Amino acid sequence: MTARSAAKAGKTTGRRVFFFGAGKADGNAGMKELLGGKGANLAEMTRLGLPVPPGFTISTAVCAEYEKAGGKVPRSLEPDVAKALRRVERIMDARFGDPKRPLLLSVRSGARASMPGMMDTVLNLGLNDRSAEGLAALADARFAYDSYRRFVQMYSDVVLEVPRDHFEHRLEALKASRGVHLDTDLGAEDWRELVREYLRIVEEETGKPFPQDSHAQLWGAIGAVFRSWGNPRAITYRKLNGIPADWGTAVNVQAMVFGNMGDDCATGVAFTRDPSTGANFFYGEYLKNAQGEDVVAGIRTPQPINKESRSPDHAHLPTLEEEMPKAYKELAAIRKKLESHYRDMQDVEFTIQNGKLWMLQTRNGKRTVRAAVTIAVEMAREKLIPREVAVTRVDPGSLDQLLHPTLDPDAEKKVIAKGLPASPGAACGKVVFSADEAEAKAKAGEKVVLVRIETSPEDIHGMYAAEGILTARGGMTSHAAVVARGMGKCCVVGCGTLQISYDRGEIRVNDTLVRAGDVITIDGSSGEVILGEVATVTPELGGEFGELMRWADVSRQLEVRTNADTPHDAKVARDFGAQGIGLCRTEHMFFEEERILAVREMILSTDEVQRGRALEKLLPMQRGDFVGIFQAMDGLPVTIRLLDPPLHEFLPHEDAGIREVAEVLGDDVAAVRARIEERREFNPMLGHRGCRLGITFPDIYRMQVRAITEAACQVAQSGVRVRPEIMIPLIAHVKELARLRQLAEEEVARVLDEHRGVKLKIPIGTMIEVPRAALVAADIARYADFFSFGTNDLTQMTYALSRDDAGKFLPEYLEAGILEDDPFVSIDREGIGQLVMMGVERGRSTRRDLKVGICGEHGGDPKSVQFCAQAGLDYVSCSPFRVPVARLAAAQAAITARGGASPRAKRKPKPRPKAKPAAAGRGSAKRTTRGARR
């Protein structure tokens, strides 16, 4: 449901304002599309009987109306808001705008997807010169004017758009003049003076006095929150996390409760499990005598809520459990109730006012991927969720983060500081001090670590671009920590020994000086900050990860293979669960130093005798390559693509290389240079490459087929089961495949005649990477045992886009919304996807048992894997480190297709009827034409 469809839903129900309070609520947790995540969960917590301050939610439907009206809140909303506000007043026994007993409000955003810190909030709304005095009489003057100065600063920043720096500089100057470091060290008169300064700043910057009418304040704040849906940081966050721009945000208006009224007051953030590791203990931080933004801003060092939350560096700090045991006990009970109810790890915000606990928010907590895996598996073990739900709880794309390097424990390192380990992994890069610089340097190909005193939502683009984030302030629930965990970025926060100077572009740590551009390494698992670059190691996977992947394999139907050209890559992929090789690129083997000369000799030879000598040199090299790969993939299929790239890629361009080839050929340098020029093409990717090489230089393909078959025979004779498959690239016409299939079958038959004791079945198939091939797939399938869609080239040819050049303008297409995704990253369902589906349908109309896969880089993209499952493909093939991603994505696609129900045993695909008889010309390789079937 978009904001516009939410608007229609709102009209259907006749309600745009949803009240919650005193155990009753108009909404519930299932209404996130209309109420946003925050509003829906506030309603749900109220229904659960939890202590939630009363309030009301203005639905996402109104956000659509706001945008349609050109940024104006509809006046027709006023009666509904007034009615809900009166109910809040009755529950709180206070009046909004009353100077003697004022009701103060918070106004917060709330999209259906969590966007921490990306949109705007206003606290303490309703204060003015008169009500501040009334609040001082009711409570305490210091509290009243502390609250008033916070409100003026926040409202001016969010609503009036007066830069926050104007206020922060004045606050720092006041603390310096008083000789204090913390806000809590200032008294009532200090805050009164600061409020007067703040009001003067507002009038100077806007030309108008700060608004004193509480109702005008409220409507200004509501409009500002709707407006913040379109601010730059929210837009960036949505793009990074795939959140549609037309969802819109709700606005939550809620009675204020105060954590800054004295030492029996506090505010905090907690997670029902550790968001960094997934460990099952109550984890959180709080501050006494503070408001919520103090915790996430990192201005003061927060305290742990219990001993389990203590870091070694903060072991001396008292806990909430020790300081306010009654409130902590109630909070711990709520933790269990919320997790049991939502059946997921929760991120909660709370305030304690005069010893009474209030719950301000709950939402599914952001977590590292390692924590996501641990939490999903442990919740399934605890019977909180079924296994198939556990499989859907981990984002497949995030699994890359599990493979992030960690520091080599044996490497030398110079530790210069230590902070809090907010998000695991290791990051190394040049020091930068601004988000803009981080983004610019990352675009230029440099690795950087973003160093800030503290981060704010405006830094989101730099945090995304950086390898890691390091801050001097903040705790484990600070902005930097929460956002970094959500991104999977290594992060160290609260490193208080760092003296950071933006003006000088340097960090001082005791006697060490680190300047902008110097290289540092941060360890997000230990909190260490290290001078220089430190060696890393790839972590081992197992435990909960292995268990989750086993559950995924039970659910999925799509096979997952890998793209691998060496025995090492093959072994890595097999360790990650690959079920075979879907693409082995033979040309990658030709570029090795000891064989490139023979390849050039083959290409530049003037007759078959010269070419034959070069091929004789290459044959044992290729055979050795395949022997190693077959051994590594013992018993699993290995699809080997015959030579594909244009020949000019192998040719020398420097004089030394040309002279070397001329000497081997016994030819004149000028003549060799001329032949190189003859091989040059204006558009080589559409030129003399792929199967066209096999047609014009059949000896090349014969050599490769012989190398494959001889290697298979050699490995088979050693007792290893081999399953080679030969793939012919760039087929556009059925006669190309008919001719080259016959060539391959004849060569296979000759080799098998030489190895009488070996029985092999070698399927022969083709890549579908030319649009014409998809159109005539019914004919091509007569000569193919399998299809493998090469979606890299298929995308390139169908879009008329060069993969190598598209990066110069594709970002603008994505920015402008012309394309939703980069078509080389996620398969274009409307265009390329239609060609794939057409190829599958037409190919299987000829051969109903036709095996079909995909071997472009799309094979490791979760969105594309989901499409492949829906299109009826048998397998996807991707790079080794993307194999776990594809396995999980395939499982989630299968679970979604079944409507969430998962069998306890892997479903077997329905057997397809036997294939039609082979086309003419295939009988000569009877022993080779039928490939192994799943």
In three-state secondary structure terms, 181 is coil
Q: In sequence order, what are the beta bridge partners of 24?
A: 21
**How far is 494 from 507, CA to CA, in rounded Å?**
14
- Give the number of other CB atoms < 10 A from CB of residue 752: 21
Q: What is the mean pLDDT of the segment spanning 702-707?
A: 96
- Does the active-site annotation cover 713? no
Beta bridge partners of 727: 641, 765
Lowest mean pLDDT among 105-114, 298-307, 518-527: 298-307
Q: What is the pLDDT of residue 486?
A: 66
Mean of pLDDT values over 382-397: 95
pLDDT at 933: 31
- Give me the mean pLDDT over the 296-316 stretch: 82
Mean local confidence (pLDDT), 269-278: 94
CA atoms in the 13 A half-sphere facing the CB of 64: 20
Beta bridge partner(s), residue 786: 851
Task: Assess whether pLDDT exceeds 70 at residue 25.
Answer: yes
The pLDDT-based confidence of 298 (bands split at 50, 70, 90) is: low
Residue 189, pLDDT score? 94
Of 63, 265, 691, 855, catalytic: 855
SS3 780: helix
Position 5 scores a pLDDT of 46
How many CA atoms, within 13 angstroms, populate the side-chain half-sphere of residue 400? Answer: 10
Hey, which residues does 491 pair with through a beta bridge? 423, 469
What is the band of 539 on the pLDDT scale with cuts at 50, 70, 90? Answer: low
pLDDT per residue as tens digits for the range 352-378: 999 999 999 999 998 988 899 999 999
- What Å distances lie between residue 896 and 268, 384, 909, CA to CA? 37, 20, 17
- Report the sign of the C-alpha dihedral through residues 595, 600, 605, 608, in that order: positive
Instruction: Report pLDDT for 319.
Output: 96
Residue by residue, DSSP assigns 837-901 as: HHHHHHHHHH-TT-EEEE-SGGGG-HHHHHHHHHTT-SEEEE-GGGHHHHHHHHHHHHHHHTTT-
Give the pairing of strands 723-728 and 637-641: parallel
Q: Which of 361, 266, 255 is nearest to 43 (CA)?
A: 361
Q: Using H for helix, E for strand and C for coil, what is the string for 279-333?
A: CCCCEEEEEECCCHHHHHHCCCCCEECCHHHCCHHHCCCCCHHHHCHHHHHHHHH
Residue 918 pLDDT > 60: no
648: pLDDT strictly greater than 90: no
The pLDDT value given to residue 904 = 32
Residues 6 or more apart in contact with residue 880 via CB below 8 angstroms: 562, 563, 564, 569, 572, 573, 576, 578
Specify the 3-state DSSP secondary structure of 99: coil
Above 60 in pLDDT, residue 302?
Answer: yes
Element (H, E) at 196: helix 188-206
Mean pLDDT check: name the lowest of 153-167, 638-652, 847-861: 638-652
pLDDT mean across residues, the chain? 89
pLDDT of residue 191: 93
The residue with tokens 């099952």 is 280
User: Has 215 been annotated as catalytic?
Assistant: no
Tokens read off for 120: 């705007």
pLDDT band, very low/low/confident/very high, at 887 (cuts 50, 70, 90): very high
d(CA 55, CA 105): 9
pLDDT at position 3 is: 47
Alpha carbons 204 and 193: distance in angstroms, whole number? 17
Q: What is the pLDDT of residue 706?
A: 97
The order of strands in the sheet holding 266-271 is 303-304, 283-288, 266-271, 346-353, 356-364
Q: For the segment 225-242, what is each residue's pLDDT rounded down to a tens digit?
A: 999 999 888 988 888 888
**Model pLDDT for residues 502-516, shown as the tens digit of each residue:** 999 999 998 899 999
User: Is the pLDDT reported for residue 898 higher than 80?
Assistant: yes
Residue range 121-178, pLDDT digits in tens: 999 999 999 999 999 998 889 999 999 999 999 999 999 999 989 998 999 999 999 9
Residue 907 clears pLDDT 70, i.e. is over it? no
Query: What is the distance between the alpha carbons of residues 874 and 780, in angstroms, rounded to a whole number?
Result: 18
Which one-letter DSSP state was computed for residue 791? H
Give the 3-state secondary structure of residue 212.
Answer: coil
pLDDT-derived band of residue 407, with 50, 70 and 90 as boundaries? confident
Helix (H) or strand (E) holding 174: helix 164-178
Other Cβ atoms closer than 10 A to 314:
18
Residues 479, 495, 584, 868: which is the catalytic one?
479
The DSSP call for residue 817 is T
Which residues, 6+ apart, have CB-to-CB distance to 800 below 8 Å? none
Which has the closest alpha carbon to 880: 699, 604, 705, 632? 632
**Rounded percentage of the chain residues whose pLDDT exceeds 70:** 93
CA 422 to chain centre: 18
Task: Record the tokens describing residue 50, joined without a space.
Answer: 């939890």
Chain centroid, CA 910 distance in Å: 35
pTM of the model as a whole = 0.78
Given the DSSP bridges, would you call strands 346-353 and 356-364 parallel, antiparallel or unpaired? antiparallel
Helix (H) or strand (E) holding 11: helix 3-13
Per-residue confidence at 767, pLDDT binned at 50, 70, 90? very high
Question: Using CA atoms, how far apart are residues 618 and 298, in angstroms rounded to an integer?
Answer: 63
Whether the per-residue pLDDT at 36 is higher than 80: the answer is yes
| Strand-strand pairing, 536-537 and 559-563 | unpaired
Q: Distance between CA 860 and CA 479 in Å, rounded?
A: 31
Whether residue 833 contacts residue 854, with contact meaning beta carbons closer than 8 Å, is answered with: no
pLDDT score of 474 more than 50 = yes
Is 80 exceeded by the pLDDT of residue 773? yes
Question: Which is more confidently placed, 276 or 908?
Answer: 276
- Top mean pLDDT of 410-424, 786-800, 913-927 is at 786-800
DSSP state letter for 907: P
pLDDT band at 909 (very low <50, low <70, confident <90, very high): very low
What three-state secondary structure class fits 227? helix
* CA 184 to chain CA mean position, Å: 39
Are the C-beta atoms of residues 385 and 343 closer than 8 Å to each other? yes
Confidence of residue 524 (pLDDT cuts 50, 70, 90): confident
Place of tokens 């705007």: 120
